[in-house]
Amino acid sequence: MLAKRTNYLTVVTDQVVDPHNISAICRSAECFGVQNVHLIESNFPFRGAKNIQRGSLNWVNVNRYDGENKTQDCIQTLKSNGYKIVAVSPHVASKSISELTFDKPIALVMGQEQLGVSNEIMMAADDCVIIPMHGFTESLNVSVACSIALYDLRKRLDESTVQWQLSDHDRYELYQQWLFDSIKRPDLIIEHYHKTNAK
CATH code of 35's domain: 3.40.1280.10
Q: How many domains does the chain have?
A: 1
In a domain, residue 195? The reply is no
User: For residue 51, is pLDDT > 60?
Assistant: no
- Which domain covers residue 142, as residue numbers? 2-166
Q: At what angle do helices 142-159 and 19-31 cross, to 10 degrees?
A: 10
In a domain, residue 187? The reply is no
User: pLDDT digits over 148-195, tens only?
Assistant: 999 999 999 999 999 999 999 999 999 989 988 888 888 888 888 888
User: pLDDT digits over 73-129, tens only?
Assistant: 999 999 999 999 999 988 776 799 999 999 999 999 999 988 899 999 999 999 999
- What does the pLDDT read at residue 153? 98
Work out the average pLDDT over 22-41: 95
- What does the pLDDT read at residue 55? 58
Work out the average pLDDT over 11-40: 94
Higher pLDDT, 130 or 45: 130
- What does the pLDDT read at residue 151? 97
- What does the alpha-carbon distance between residue 26 and residue 12 come to, in Å, rounded to a whole number? 10
Work out the average pLDDT over 55-67: 85
Instruction: Write the DSSP assignment of 43-112 as a string of letters.
Output: SS-----HHHHTTGGGTSEEEEE-STTHHHHHHHHHHHTTPEEEEE-TTT--EEGGG---SS-EEEEEEB
In a domain, residue 189? The reply is no
User: For residue 36, is pLDDT > 50?
Assistant: yes
- What does the pLDDT read at residue 44? 66
In a domain, residue 113? The reply is yes
C-alpha neighbours within 13 Å on the C-beta side of residue 90: 19
In a domain, residue 48? The reply is yes
In a domain, residue 182? The reply is no
Q: In 90-186, which ranges are E strands?
A: 95-96, 106-111, 127-130
- What does the alpha-carbon distance between residue 79 and residue 61 come to, in Å, rounded to a whole number? 18
